A and B are shown apart, each in its own frame.
Chain A
């Protein structure tokens, strides 16, 4: 089937969402997605940043849809005409949603480990406005300890639910969830239980903000001062293919590898993530690619980078 998004025709197979179709045209111009995650079933539809306009559902139904629809959960139809960046209504709605996502966010980027690789920062920069009429106190939550591996910073959470889907779909027994309701909703274990099982660390990688960060990496570095390299090891639990973040020769963090829309390619186990913190644990493949737009690329580490195990490389 064929559809048109912002004037560009694309052929997709039935069952493709408008978000997937847009990303295939160009990940950079595709609608932003703060809650949808390709590898997580049932995710999406909640943050409303990917709202797009259906100018025509099909040639048989040429009227525009009454409401904007979430691109991540709306399936393409043959002959559909979609407006994303070409609709002022969509751009305005996106600005509104970004503002609403930010009014209760602490904006504590200077002390947040996620800064520099934060989807909310990128979203606000690209789609937001720099002022708000919100004068109220920002929402605050009591600090909650969820164990030695993952730091929960609920004040930063935008309730995307991705970590809940990770726990449901990747681990053997979810022990955290979204409690309460409305704007009192919070990620919690309710009984201050440690979130700890083989794949729980993936919650960190899917978190779009700094609500869930790696406790073993906490305050160790600003992300743009470290060097990400692709590395792998033999692992009996996961693919063993990771990004190892170096400071000098020190492994300061291990994460899963991500694709061009910042989604994890293959989830990794907690052993790889939290326990293999020596360069000797890893076979280094070479520098990890980071988009030129990212603050992480400011140090041009991809050029003439000295990789300890490989010597000099020029990528």
Chain B
């Protein structure tokens, strides 16, 4: 049985209410934290090895230590709850189940960072989650865990929920800040980085929901205890959203380091494939990461078992590996069409490109059109190489990572499934 840190109490009835949550140890970390030196909390998070769970996997403690504390401006903590990476639904599940754990994490993190205002940017479609978080915030405030002089510590904090309105790009942290300022979600040109000049031009830390939610456990149990879970630089547990052609789609909290095969095949997690089906491919970290064919899913190119860790998933680089990303784990069986799926994702990136920089604005549409042709039986052989060439025109040339995210799934699909593309040309579409 996998250990549960985040989801330990997820199925306790009434855990979304303050009294029940408190009975189960909720907000204990706040009591402990407000007696600590804020910098000691930052150190604890550094020691834990916690890495950003939104997709980039950057060390949270180091990110926190970049925050400009010398500035005379106020500082802000912003929680990225704009979950929208295809294949990813863990933050939504988590916030539905445990809104108070997010609030608790925000309080402790704010105390560590010295921020007196925190905003939670939730994707606008989650109306019920916005309401649930507002209720949780009000309950925490009524109990003295939020507002002025929290638990007599002299520390003040307000948390506000801010709705998005339908734009995947706002999950990119600087686009999120623009959106929070009431503008279009255009990613900012960096530097300056948010730690120096973020929300309203002030020093800002932006963390994913799951990242913030891991902080209370780290404070109560210590950074070393967290770092003891997992393998190497992949410490702690990770929420994985499992979807696609599997028996048991859902959100699973895993110890980092279990094998991909166990995750897909065991009854504790995905429950294996549907009867009579065979594995074709996996997309391990949300639609943006390279797709892996079956023979590279459970084993690396060197024949080692592939593990659910940042490093093992990346083993082989873009030639034979992929990335942990947001933990959006999509399984494709033999009934799935790679060309169709790639076209689908490419339509997604075309639809979600903000339009600010030219390579992404023009290139994503071009990719979609060529893939549409191939899927609908009008493609030519040279279109297959054209896909790679367009991707290379976009990759690395854009303001933000959406350009790369649009390119990687296409390049990897052509790399690993070229015959399937060729078959679409020869047979004028799907067989």
Looking across the interface, which residue of chain A has its beta carbon closest to that of B385? A133
Residues of B within 8 A of A96 (CB): 359, 392-393, 397
Tell whether, in the assembled complex, residue A100 and residue B393 are in contact, meaning their CB atoms are under 8 Å apart.
yes
Report A88-106 CB contacts with B as 1/0, cut-off 8 Å: 0000010011011101100
User: Could you tell me the distance between the alpha carbons of A173 and B366 in the complex, rounded to whole angstroms?
Assistant: 36
Looking across the interface, which residue of chain B has its beta carbon closest to that of A45? B189
Q: How far is the CB of A278 from chain B (nearest CB, A)?
A: 41
Q: Looking at the complex, which one of B191, B351, B356, B389 makes contact with A46 (CB distance below 8 Å)? A: B356
For residue B362, CB closer than 8 A to chain A, the reply is yes
For residue B86, CB closer than 8 A to chain A, the reply is no
Tell whether, in the assembled complex, residue B366 and residue A67 are in contact, meaning their CB atoms are under 8 Å apart.
no
Tell whether, in the assembled complex, residue A48 and residue B397 are in contact, meaning their CB atoms are under 8 Å apart.
yes
For residue B316, CB closer than 8 A to chain A, the reply is no
Tell whether, in the assembled complex, residue B358 and residue A136 are in contact, meaning their CB atoms are under 8 Å apart.
no
User: Could you tell me the distance between the alpha carbons of A67 and B386 in the complex, rounded to whole angstroms?
Assistant: 23
For residue A292, CB closer than 8 A to chain B, the reply is no
For residue B184, CB closer than 8 A to chain A, the reply is yes
Q: How far is the CB of B407 from chain A (nearest CB, A)?
A: 12
For residue B29, CB closer than 8 A to chain A, the reply is no
User: Could you tell me the distance between the alpha carbons of A159 and B361 in the complex, rounded to whole angstroms?
Assistant: 10
Q: Looking at the complex, which one of B189, B350, B361 makes contact with A70 (CB distance below 8 Å)? A: B189
Tell whether, in the assembled complex, residue A45 and residue B355 are in contact, meaning their CB atoms are under 8 Å apart.
no
Tell whether, in the assembled complex, residue A183 and residue B397 are in contact, meaning their CB atoms are under 8 Å apart.
no
Residues of B within 8 A of A93 (CB): 396-397
List the count of A-B residue pairs having beta carbons below 8 Å apart.
Answer: 83
Tell whether, in the assembled complex, residue A45 and residue B399 are in contact, meaning their CB atoms are under 8 Å apart.
yes
Given known contacts A181-B355, A185-B355, A67 and B361 CB-to-CB distance under 8 angstroms? no
- Which interface residue of B356, B358, B396 has the most chain A CB atoms within 10 A? B358
For residue B167, CB closer than 8 A to chain A, the reply is yes
Q: Looking at the complex, which one of B191, B362, B392 makes contact with A104 (CB distance below 8 Å)? A: B362
Given known contacts A103-B362, A104-B362, A181-B355, A73 and B189 CB-to-CB distance under 8 angstroms? yes
Q: How far is the CB of A264 from chain B (nearest CB, A)?
A: 23
For residue A134, CB closer than 8 A to chain B, the reply is yes
Q: How far is the CB of B298 from chain A (nearest CB, A)?
A: 31
Tell whether, in the assembled complex, residue A184 and residue B355 are in contact, meaning their CB atoms are under 8 Å apart.
yes
Looking across the interface, which residue of chain B has its beta carbon closest to that of A105? B362
User: Could you tell me the distance between the alpha carbons of A93 and B395 in the complex, rounded to whole angstroms?
Assistant: 10
Tell whether, in the assembled complex, residue A183 and residue B353 are in contact, meaning their CB atoms are under 8 Å apart.
yes
Looking across the interface, which residue of chain B has its beta carbon closest to that of A95? B393
Residues of A within 8 A of B357 (CB): 45-48
For residue A269, CB closer than 8 A to chain B, the reply is no
For residue B38, CB closer than 8 A to chain A, the reply is no
For residue A158, CB closer than 8 A to chain B, the reply is yes
Q: Looking at the complex, which one of B353, B366, B382, B399 makes contact with A103 (CB distance below 8 Å)? A: B366
Tell whether, in the assembled complex, residue A185 and residue B361 are in contact, meaning their CB atoms are under 8 Å apart.
yes
Q: How far is the CB of B22 from chain A (nearest CB, A)?
A: 44
Tell whether, in the assembled complex, residue B397 and residue A51 are in contact, meaning their CB atoms are under 8 Å apart.
yes
Q: How far is the CB of B244 from chain A (nearest CB, A)?
A: 27
Q: Looking at the complex, which one of B361, B389, B396, B399 makes contact with A182 (CB distance below 8 Å)? A: B361
Q: How far is the CB of B101 from chain A (nearest CB, A)?
A: 34
Tell whether, in the assembled complex, residue B189 and residue A182 are in contact, meaning their CB atoms are under 8 Å apart.
no
Tell whether, in the assembled complex, residue B358 and residue A158 are in contact, meaning their CB atoms are under 8 Å apart.
yes
Tell whether, in the assembled complex, residue A101 and residue B189 are in contact, meaning their CB atoms are under 8 Å apart.
no
User: Could you tell me the distance between the alpha carbons of A104 and B365 in the complex, rounded to whole angstroms?
Assistant: 10
Given known contacts A73-B189, A103-B366, A182 and B354 CB-to-CB distance under 8 angstroms? yes
Report B206-220 CB contacts with A as 1/0, cut-off 8 Å: 000000000000000
For residue A68, CB closer than 8 A to chain B, the reply is yes
User: Could you tell me the distance between the alpha carbons of A159 and B354 in the complex, rounded to whole angstroms?
Assistant: 12
Report B348-375 CB contacts with A as 1/0, cut-off 8 Å: 0011111111110111111001000000
Tell whether, in the assembled complex, residue B396 and residue A68 are in contact, meaning their CB atoms are under 8 Å apart.
yes
Residues of B within 8 A of A183 (CB): 350, 353, 355, 361-362, 364-365
User: Could you tell me the distance between the alpha carbons of A103 and B393 in the complex, rounded to whole angstroms?
Assistant: 13
User: Could you tell me the distance between the alpha carbons of A101 and B393 in the complex, rounded to whole angstroms?
Assistant: 11
Residues of A within 8 A of B359 (CB): 48, 96-97, 100
Q: How far is the CB of B148 from chain A (nearest CB, A)?
A: 37
Looking across the interface, which residue of chain A has its beta carbon closest to that of B392? A96
- Which interface residue of B351, B353, B356, B396 has the most chain A CB atoms within 10 A? B356
3 smallest A-B Cβ distances: which pairs?
A45-B189, A185-B355, A96-B393
Q: Pull 15 A–B residue pairs with CB atoms less than 8 Å apart, ordered by A.
A: A45-B399, A46-B358, A73-B189, A96-B393, A99-B393, A103-B362, A178-B184, A178-B355, A181-B184, A182-B350, A182-B354, A182-B355, A182-B361, A184-B355, A185-B361
* Interface residues in chain B, defined as those with a beta carbon under 8 Å from any beta carbon in chain A: 167, 184, 189, 191, 350-359, 361-366, 369, 382, 386, 389, 392-393, 396-399
